[in-house]
Amino acid sequence: MRRTVFIGEREYFPGIGQIQYEGRESDNPLAFKSYDPTRVVAGKTMEEHLRFAACYWHSFCATGADPFGPGTRVHPWATGKTPRDRSRERVDAAFEFFSKLNIPFWCFHDFDLAFEGGTVSESEQNLCEMVELARERQDATGVSLLWGTANLFSHPRYMNGASTNPDFAVVTYAAAQVKAALDATVELGGSNYVFWGGREGYACLQNTDTRRELEHMAIFLERARDYGRSIGFDGTFLIEPKPMEPMKHQYDFDAQTVIGFLRHHGLAGDFKLNVEANHATLAGHSFAHDLRMAADAGLLGSIDANRGDPQNGWDTDQFPLDLYDCVHGMMVVLEAGGLGDGGLNFDAKVRRESTDPEDLFIAHIGGMDSWARGLLVAERVLADARLTELIGDRYRSFDSGAGARFERRDLDLVALRDLAASAGQPEARSGKQELVENLINDHIVAG
């Protein structure tokens, strides 16, 4: 159960109190208009359906730097004299933010939370100290950990990959980090552990032994799984697909690639997918497509909620304020029976030009309201008999007779040929795309 606002030694967001649900009539930018955590939709509260999480890296570490210029935001929690002081301040600022926003979960990388030391042991110690502090703050606020992960992409040692690095010495460093990050995740009661392999891929196909690298990646994931289980981690391991950036090609290209990889290596019992909107679009798919592929495989674990920009070909990590994305996404989630122990993590950053402290609240409030609207609309769309009938009708020919026998694998290719030869040309049957799109639009405006 979450408690009231947490304020540490210093208040980092003065003038902003607990964000409340005020309903659609409210014109307060610091209030929820649609996200009412206690409202019941399709048998569960909005809070239970949506399982929102804030991320530590974009909101509390990043300052808005881009390849053309430095950060534009000066964080009041980054003023301490030593890296250790700054890490501790950041935890307080983050938990003040989480509790004021009334967000139930958070996510972190090892070296967002702690600063990397000069040696493996020093880094482990730093992380342990910060985990202890975060645990106290979790207890004080009731905010829980959705997932932890290790940053295996920023340090120059990972420039040629982490678990897929051609140099075994680097692979061992990656293992050390994953071990410590798993320990931290267990200590903080996290329900998932994420692998996003930013550098697990290649920049040049001609200097890379891809067969060997993919094998190494599978071995590494097995070892991580075994260690996690040995220390009592009974949650879900998640792979987060992304096709490229920073590498030219990343092995976790998209949902279907990862599903194939997991099944090929016998990992699908312990691993699921963390689908990120902007990664799906970089792969040339829609967000809903990757969600659907993961859900169809029974491997939809969690979501990194954000969006890209159609005019930019990179990972802009904008807040997910596109209503269609949220509606289409929630349609998949509801049909899949929910997110289970996964959640909706805002892997999103305010724009470089959004420099007011309140912008961080406004962005998250917008994301939470958009997904809440997505939930309400998706529930209505899925309950609309016209859609279920339309889809049922499209596949009716498989429900009985020869079509059903085909699905039961009773017909061979010759039998199929003979059916075609005796029946003549199939009739044209409309897919009714515009009708379906109109129907969804009608439900969006009706709410």
The catalytic site residues sit at: 109, 112
- Residues 48, 38: Cα–Cα separation, whole Å: 9
Of 213 and 304, the one with the shorter C-beta distance to Co ion is 304
Binding range to Co ion, per CB under 5 A, among 60-68, 97-105, 163-171, 343-351: 343-351
Query: Is 112 a residue that touches ligand XUL (CB under 6 A)?
Result: no
Of 92 and 276, the one with the shorter C-beta distance to Co ion is 276
Query: Is 124 a residue that touches ligand XUL (CB under 6 A)?
Result: no
Candidates 179, 242, 349, 380: give the one binding ligand XUL (CB under 6 A). Answer: 242
Candidates 304, 325, 369, 379: give the one binding ligand XUL (CB under 6 A). Answer: 304
* Minimum distance, C-beta of residue 274 to ligand XUL, in the bound complex (Å): 7
* Minimum distance, C-beta of residue 57 to ligand XUL, in the bound complex (Å): 6
- Residue 242: contacted member of Co ion, ligand XUL, none (CB under 5 to 8 Å, by partner type): ligand XUL
Query: Is 254 a residue that touches ligand XUL (CB under 6 A)?
Result: no
Task: With CB under 5 A as the rule, give the number of residues binding Co ion.
Answer: 3
Site for ligand XUL in 305-324 (CB under 6 A): 315
Record the tokens describing residue 431, joined without a space. Answer: 């897919």
- Residues 134, 233: Cα–Cα separation, whole Å: 18
Number of Cα atoms under 13 Å in the Cβ half of residue 281: 19
Q: What one-letter code names the amino acid at 149?
A: T
Nearest CA to 96 among 5, 3, 14? Answer: 5
Of 315 and 325, the one with the shorter C-beta distance to ligand XUL is 315
Record the tokens describing residue 364, joined without a space. Answer: 């998250």
Of 51 and 109, the one with the shorter C-beta distance to ligand XUL is 109
Helix (H) or strand (E) holding 273: strand 271-276
* Minimum distance, C-beta of residue 315 to ligand XUL, in the bound complex (Å): 5
**Chain center to CA of 97:** 20
Of 331 and 348, the one with the shorter C-beta distance to ligand XUL is 348
Cβ contacts of 156 within 8 Å, gap of 6 or more: none
Site for Co ion in 269-328 (CB under 5 A): 276, 304
- Residues 63, 350: Cα–Cα separation, whole Å: 10
- Residue 369: contacted member of ligand XUL, Co ion, none (CB under 5 to 8 Å, by partner type): none
Binding mask 258-277 for Co ion (x = CB under 5 A): ------------------x-
Whose structure tokens read 């645990």?
Answer: 135
The 3-state DSSP class for residue 43 equals coil
Query: Is 276 a residue that touches ligand XUL (CB under 6 A)?
Result: yes
- Residues 67, 101: Cα–Cα separation, whole Å: 31
Q: Which alpha helices (DSSP H) does 188-286 contain, by range?
A: 210-230, 255-264, 277-282
- Residues 440, 379: Cα–Cα separation, whole Å: 11
**Chain center to CA of 173:** 25
Q: Are 31 and 42 in contact (CB under 8 A)?
A: no
Candidates 252, 347, 369, 379: give the one binding Co ion (CB under 5 A). Answer: 347
* Minimum distance, C-beta of residue 60 to ligand XUL, in the bound complex (Å): 13
- Residue 364: contacted member of ligand XUL, Co ion, none (CB under 5 to 8 Å, by partner type): none
* Minimum distance, C-beta of residue 9 to ligand XUL, in the bound complex (Å): 29
Query: Is 196 a residue that touches ligand XUL (CB under 6 A)?
Result: yes
Nearest CA to 20 among 97, 103, 102, 93? Answer: 102
The 3-state DSSP class for residue 69 equals strand
CA geometry: angle 268, 274, 279, nearest 5 deg: 125
- Residues 330, 338: Cα–Cα separation, whole Å: 9
Candidates 59, 87, 102, 149: give the one binding ligand XUL (CB under 6 A). Answer: 149
Site for ligand XUL in 335-364 (CB under 6 A): 347
- Residues 169, 212: Cα–Cα separation, whole Å: 16
- Residue 149: contacted member of ligand XUL, Co ion, none (CB under 5 to 8 Å, by partner type): ligand XUL
State how far the alpha carbon of 427 is from the alpha carbons of 152, 280, 423, in Å. 55, 35, 11
- Residue 315: contacted member of Co ion, ligand XUL, none (CB under 5 to 8 Å, by partner type): ligand XUL
Q: What one-letter code names the amino acid at 395?
A: Y
* Minimum distance, C-beta of residue 38 to ligand XUL, in the bound complex (Å): 29
Record the tokens describing residue 55, joined without a space. Answer: 């991320």
* Minimum distance, C-beta of residue 309 to Co ion, in the bound complex (Å): 16
* Minimum distance, C-beta of residue 240 to Co ion, in the bound complex (Å): 5
Task: With CB under 6 A as the rule, give the number of residues binding ligand XUL.
Answer: 10
Of 6 and 271, the one with the shorter C-beta distance to ligand XUL is 271
Taking only Cα atoms into account, the Rg of the chain, rounded to an integer number of angstroms, comes to 24
Interface ranges with Co ion (CB under 5 A): 276, 304, 347
Interface ranges with ligand XUL (CB under 6 A): 109, 149, 194, 196, 240, 242, 276, 304, 315, 347
